[in-house]
Amino acid sequence: MNTFDNLSLIAAIGCKNELGMDGHLIWKIPDDLKFYREMTLGKFIIMGRKTFETMPYGALDGRKPIILSSKNLDDYFDVSCFNNVEQLLNFVSMTPEEFMVVGGAKVYEELLPYVKTMYLTKIMKNHRADAYFPLFNESEWNRELMLKALGKKPPCVRYCYTRKLKK
């Protein structure tokens, strides 16, 4: 499977890969939201329709949002919509800018195989959830610690994962 050097992913996950509950985020750590802002400003951000519908405007402002949906989202301004992953990846391959995949669970799962870099904030806590980050094989990635003790309650660790080159 081809990966794309300009395709990255950012997520905040719990001890059991918890991402969200009832359509909403469960982890809202100010320092991490700041990191999300820094990492996404000015970039294309790719998300599923469900995540899009619950995102506050501030999380889209200053970014170039791309929504995956089977529906027609023409009612929204300043948003591009793709109806399938193939079309989206074709656009990524033709565009010399960085794209950040920002969720949710379904979109992470579908796009993870094509991503070159992941920024994962791991929150050292369990939480009730109905949306989870996909399992992935850590041996296929180089892991670099970015920040050891972000947040106090609960503590978090942030890693940058870069896909190992295939031999």
Contact present, 135 and 18 (Cβ < 8 Å): no
Q: Strands 44-48, 64-68: parallel, antiparallel or unpaired by DSSP?
A: parallel
- HSE, side-chain direction, 13 A CA sphere, residue 131: 22
Interaction between residue 49 and ligand NAP (CB under 6 A):
yes
Based on CB atoms, which residue is closest to ligand NAP, 59 or 163? 59
The window from 57-65, 98-106, 134-142, 159-167 that contacts ligand NAP (CB under 6 A) reads 98-106
Q: Site residues for ligand NAP, window 67-96 (CB under 6 A)? A: 68-71, 83-85
- 115, with CB counted inside 10 A (0-12, 13-18, 19+), is buried
Q: How far is the CB of 19 from ligand NAP (least distance, A)?
A: 4
Residue among 50 and 163 whose Cβ is closer to ligand NAP: 50
Task: Tell me how long the chain is.
Answer: 167
- Binding track, positions 25-44, relative to ligand NAP; x by CB under 6 A: x-x-----------------
Q: Give Rg (Cα) of the chain.
A: 15
Tell me which of 11, 29, 45, 59 binds ligand NAP, using CB under 6 A: 11
Q: Are 135 and 41 in contact (CB under 8 A)?
A: no
Q: How far apart are CA 50 and CA 103, in angstroms?
A: 9
Q: Which stretch binds ligand NAP (CB under 6 A): 16-24, 58-66, 135-143, 146-154?
A: 16-24
Q: Which residues bind ligand NAP (CB under 6 A)?
A: 11-12, 19-20, 23-25, 27, 47-51, 54, 68-71, 83-85, 102-107, 110, 131
